[in-house]
Structure 1
Amino acid sequence: MTPAGPVLDRVRMTAEIAADDRFDVVVVGGGITGAGTFRDLALQGLRVLLVEAGDFASGASGALSRVAHGGFRYLERGDIGLVRDAVRERDRLVAAAPHAVRPIRVVIPLTSRFGGLLAAPLRFFRLASGRGLPGVAPMALGVALYGALSGGSGALPGGGAAAGTAARRRFPYLGRRFAGAVWTHEGRIEAPERIAVELIEEGVAAGGRAAALNYCRLVAVEHGRLVLEDRLAGRSFRAAAEVVVNAAGAHADRVAGLFGIEQRMTGGVAGAHLILEAGTLAARLGDDLLFFEDGAADPAKRRLCVLYRLGGDRLLLGTTETRCDAPEAADVGEADRTYLLAALAGLFPDEASGARVVGHMVGVRPLVHSDEADLAHRSRDHAVFRHRPGGLPLVTIVGGKWTTFRKMAEDAADAALDALGRSRRVSTADRAIGGGANFRDRRDGIEADLIGLGLPPDLARRLTATYGTRAPRVARYVAAKGGAAPLSDDGRLTRGEVRFFATEEMATSAEDVVRRRSDQFFRAARLDTVTARVAAELGVKGGPAS
């Protein structure tokens, strides 16, 4: 039975836990994989508890390049299975969450027309190693294969290739040193954190007295019971589980250690991104995403970088790959900045000098542990580990890509169901996510309804585009007295939205709102000012979101 009040009501859920602390499954970790696993298990009719040490999606799940992609670059090394799964999961995500994931054209500039005609096939069949993008001709074959792996879903437009004058006409921002380019389409994830929150809300709404708590961490395991610390309430409590799912990402080994598991399952790789302000370059790029080589002198050491416009004059530039065994200490250092800005200068030497770094983010990807020294060659596939410490089944899910979170969650959920002796009742393969449910059919009607509430057309349009079929719920807060007043200079964050985040999405701090419930971290011209205004609205201490 769906709760009468807000689904994500912390007071109600903590009271239910206090009344009965027994759960079928406890999921540790509220990133995208943990959120997906929680929803999946709750939909099977289980009583599930999700606990996250920070805010939902506050780790690597919110610090990605914000693109759902199939891993085109993995084709060259013959990872057909990984790419096929990722492409199909990407297409499912575009269909499931059209309010949060939108098509974006990905352009790959190339310096040669026919280079790599021999080397590329050898790499594909793993008969040779090496790096460096091949020429337009072999890459065009790769684009055709990439499109075929989608199975004809039609979720995204197709790709293509162009050389010489034709390429420069199609992509006028490319200089003459490029022989051509290929392009595909991927899904731009406008709000990865929102997807996580909506998955969690659906899990709680599924019934079975499921509960989800952010700012609640697992601190110990005593006699088969989990000791949890509610950081907001300042108290500890215990919960019993038939199965525990460890979806703690880069912290998975530490969580497993609480159960006495010493096996190393994950190896962290930190990825840094810079937020740039560069009006001329942003205007030139338009809505395209560039996937380009960093220009290292040695082709064997070249890496691929990503650049696209976030909105207005803002651009996202990424990413680095650095081994990171202490995820809590990950940061963007001067070496990261220097590397990324040098890569940008190699692509756009004139415009790069005027680009200003206005923000940054870093996330630690929890790849499956490997002794492979070359980080670029480590597998991006995922793995499920099963242990029974003291007789308590522990399922650990690590690795994978953000794009494949649904499949990862499904595999983790199936392992938990197997441990419980239960069968799957519901598939999530074609299930909509939150505001994506029937959004394409209802979009125009929702926007008209919001205008009928008295909201200005531009505001009604933005709320509809951002929240999908959940927009009427948000609009009730915005339409209330004072709710339409903007808290951001660009008008993209209103007082009513902040009230909605606090009341219905468990946001407790200014950073929760600025960084993970809105786009202000990426777009605000005066981030400190917006953060302070949000903090005042929430009645909490403010501070820059970093």
Structure 2
Amino acid sequence: MFSQVENCGEIRAAKIIKIQQMTATPVVIVGGGINGISTFRELALQGIPVVMVEQGDWCQAASGALSRMIHGGLRYLETGEFSLVKESVQERDRLLKNAPHYVHPLRTTVPIDSWSGGLINAGKRFLRLSERPARRGALIIKTGLSMYDLYTRQHGSMPRHQLNSQRATKQRWPDFAGWVKCSATYYDAWISQPERLGIELVNDAEQANPQALALNYVKLIASDGETITLQDTLSGQPFTLHPHVVVNATGAWIDRLNSTLIPGRSAKKLIGGTKGSHLIVRHPRLLAALNGEMVYYENQEGRVCIMFPWFGNVLVGSTDIRIDNPDDVICEADEQRYILESLKFIFPQFSINDSDVLYTFSGVRPLPASDSTLNGRISRNHSLILLPPEAGRDYSTLCLVGGKWTTFRRFGEQAADKVLNLLGEKRRVNTEDLAIGGGKNYPADEKMADWVQRISQQTGLGNARISQLLTRYGTAAADIAAFMTLDADSPLEHFPEYSRNELRYLIQHEQVQTLEDLLVRRTPMAIGGQLTQARVSEVGKLLAAELGWDSASSAQHLQTTLSRLASLHGLTGLYPTHLNEGPLHVSNE
């Protein structure tokens, strides 16, 4: 990662100075994925002076590699995790209400190959007598969906499921494989920009509590039992804190951080992560066939896979592979072949090849350590492991194990309540009905045109531009539009859908430190398959100007970014001296 940065911004510098002046802090959260962010928000809203650090960018690792689903946990019924299903349905519906700018209902179809298949094996799996995967027939699926409807009626608001005959299924899905005998439909939800929701949670917390400080690109490097040593990875500058509680929210890195916090001691293994890889595919026929729906299907071996529309392309996934080293995981060539073969299993008439893959992403699910021989049997539930002070370590360590995107609010709430108890504090603010970022005062469909017209009149920007900003940022579009009109603005030369001041706002207000932050996490440029070499170069120059980099530093950073885009996401291209307007391609080497 780029290391020589002359100017990280006045806001960042002020935060570091403020932390350096602290003699002690009640809570330090290490890990800026969605669960760490949620815990930070919960504690900040209670008035706690909490510090959160993340060695990379917010939601950079597993929290940025999710399937983009906010789901009620239908398949957890099969493993008997009923409380997780209940919690997931509740939290899914809260997100639909609290983050309506990014979380949307998703009609889902399940293709089925038989009416009674899998009954015996399903019973064995439920009773923990077998871990062998098997395809599920209509009776099993209908039973599960009926139970799911029960939870939805009690704790949610989605329509009930439907079981569709072979004729109805073929009429709606003429391109399904011949083995499909019927289908079921139900509703879940999806999230359009999860990384943006993460940064909105951070900003909401800091705005609510000036004593709450969040810094990305800061790594915990040592502990002497009383203090912890942090290092700004951009400048190399170290500083120390004396915490009362350390929250280990590093996900797949939990065991590694614990070994740093308790040097020389053998700690119990808490994490047994599995890697999940996904593809973004450009295929107009497949996109048209989906027509806004998700297909939730079993591949040849009975593993559940998904595909649904994504920014004009199709998101397809995923894999589930045990992995020991969570650093810079990538979608390997054999995983890509596996996913494409699974896709062809349901749509055999479509020719979908490596050349149709625009983007790949992969992350490690922070699942609890397990002896299960089947990864799909490892619980997706979350738990809190408290390591109380002991000889050689004065502070408590609270480890956040497991969890999934849908339930991040509840997990953060539980973690914060545990920390509050350790501090002798009480909860003041409940977040169940608290809107997030651009979801605040989000207009209903019938009032959206009035909202757009009002902001257009206030800023002088056209209705179409305000509507575009509303889609991207929710009601935060009002502040962004106002910022954009403070100085002369112009569209990007190579990407006119964005303007220079729009990106300047993100850089200045959303802790952007690298070009990758801007391309991959603050905007959907990369995952949307929208990057060209010229666009990357132009955005890079704008970022360099904002952060005060010299030409040599800017060129080095651009080279690093192109290398990371190629290695982590399958995007390859020439350096900026050989620009062209074609899209960056996936490498199959």
Task: Give RMSD over aligned pairs.
Answer: 2.2
Alignment-derived partner of residue 413 in structure 2: 410
Is the Cα contact below 8 Å between 1:310 and 1:522 reproduced in 2?
A: no
Query: Contact 1:173/1:285 (CA < 8 Å) preserved in 2?
Result: no
- Provide the residue aligned with 2:576 in structure 1: none
Partner of 1:462: 468
Does 1:524 pair with 2:523? no
> Who is 2:551 aligned against?
none
Q: 1:232 aligns to what? A: 234
8 Å Cα contact 2:491/2:497 also seen in 1: no
User: Are the aligned partners of 1:521 and 1:527 in contact in 2 as well (CA < 8 Å)?
Assistant: no
How many angstroms apart in 2 are the aligned matches of 1:161 and 1:527?
44
Q: Helix, strand or coil for the counterpart of 1:54?
A: coil
Q: Post-superposition shift, 1:497?
A: 2.2
Q: Which residue of 1 aligns with 2:85?
A: 83
More displaced stretch, 25-34 vs 321-330 = 321-330
Please report the TM-score for the alignment, with normalisation by the length of structure 1.
0.92
- Residue 37 of structure 1 deviates from its aligned partner by 0.3
Q: How far apart are the structure 1 equivalents of 2:408 and 2:517?
A: 22
1:371-401 CA distance string (max 9 Å, x none): 2121111111111111124231110101021
Q: Letter of the aligned partner of 1:336 in structure 2? A: E
Within the candidate set 495, 509, 518, 2:514 is matched to 509
SS, match of residue 364 in structure 1: strand
1:23 aligns to 2:25 (yes or no):
yes
Paired amino acid for 1:332: C
Structure 1 unaligned residues grouped into runs of 5+? 1-6, 297-301
Deviation at 1:211, TM superposition (A): 0.5
Q: How far apart, CA to CA, are the structure 2 residues paired with 1:277 and 1:265?
A: 39
- Provide, for residues 381-436 of structure 1, a one-character-per-residue CA deviation record: whole Å limited to 9, x for no partner: 11111112423111010102111111111121122112112222222222211111
- Distance in 1 (CA, whole Å) between partners of 2:168 and 2:490 is 47
Q: Report the equivalent of 1:536.
A: 541
Say if 1:105 and 1:448 are closer, same or farther in 2 by CA, change over 3 A.
Answer: same
Does 2:397 match 1:394? yes
Q: Does 1:335 align with 2:334?
A: yes
Aligned equivalent of 2:271, options 266, 270, 280: 266
> Does residue 157 of the first structure (1) align with residue 159 of the second (2)?
yes
Contact 1:194-1:517 at 8 Å conserved across structures: yes
Tell me how far 1:241 sits from its aligned partner. Answer: 1.4
Which 10-residue stretch deviates more, 395-404 or 519-528? 519-528
Displacement, 1:250? 0.6
The alpha-carbon distance between structure 1 residues 27 and 360, as it changes in their structure 2 partners (threshold 3 A), is: same
**Structure 1 residues 157 and 481, CA gap change in structure 2 (3 angstroms):** farther
Alignment partner, residue 299 of structure 1: none
Asked whether 1:450 is paired with 2:449, we answer: no
Q: How many residues align?
A: 533
Distance 1:125 1:204, change over 3 A: same
Q: 1:34 aligns with which of 17, 33, 36?
A: 36
Match of 1:275 in 2: 280
2:215 to 200, 205, 213: 213
Residues 470, 477 of structure 2: 8 Å contact kept: yes
Query: Is the 1:249–1:398 contact (alpha carbons within 8 Å) kept by the matching residues of 2?
Result: yes
Contact 1:107 1:290 in 2 (8 A): yes
Please give the residue correspondences for 1:467-482 in structure 2 after superposition, counting only pairs within 5 Å. Answer: 467-482=473-488
Find the aligned partners of 1:98 and 1:237 in 2 and give their Cα distance.
39
CA drift of 1:530 comes to: 2.3
Report deviation, 1:345. 1.6
Q: TM-score when scaled to structure 2?
A: 0.86
**Map of 2:436 onto structure 1:** 433
Q: Is the 8 A contact 1:253 1:265 kept in 2?
A: yes
CA distance in 1, matches of 2:46, 2:414: 14
Moved more, 73-82 or 266-275: 73-82
Tell me if structure 2 keeps the 8 A contact 1:31–1:248: yes
* Aligned equivalents of 2:347, 2:14: Cα separation in 1: 54
Answer whether contact 2:177 2:345 (CA < 8 A) is retained.
Answer: no
Q: CA deviation at 1:464?
A: 1.0
Matches within 5 A, 1:4-15: 9-15=11-17
1:252-292: per-residue Cα shift (whole Å, max 9, x none)?
Answer: 11111112162211111111111211121112112111111
1:62: which partner in 2? 64
Tell me: CA distance 1:208–1:522, structure 2 relative to 1, closer, same or farther (3 Å): closer
Distance 1:73 1:100 in 2: 24
SS in 2 for 1:305: strand
Whole-angstrom distance in 2 between the partners of 1:350 and 1:538 = 45
Where 1:419 maps in the other structure, the secondary structure is helix
Question: 1:257 aligned to 256, 259, 273, which one?
Answer: 259
Q: Is contact 2:358–2:529 with CA below 8 Å preserved after alignment?
A: no
Displacement of 1:51 in angstroms is 0.2
Name whichever of 432-441 and 99-108 sits farther off: 432-441
Q: Contact (CA 8 Å) 1:29, 1:53: kept in 2 or not?
A: yes
Q: Match for 2:478: what amino acid?
A: P
Q: Does the C-alpha gap of structure 1 residues 459 and 157 become closer, same or farther in structure 2, counting only changes over 3 Å?
A: farther
Cα drift, residue 503 of structure 1: 0.4
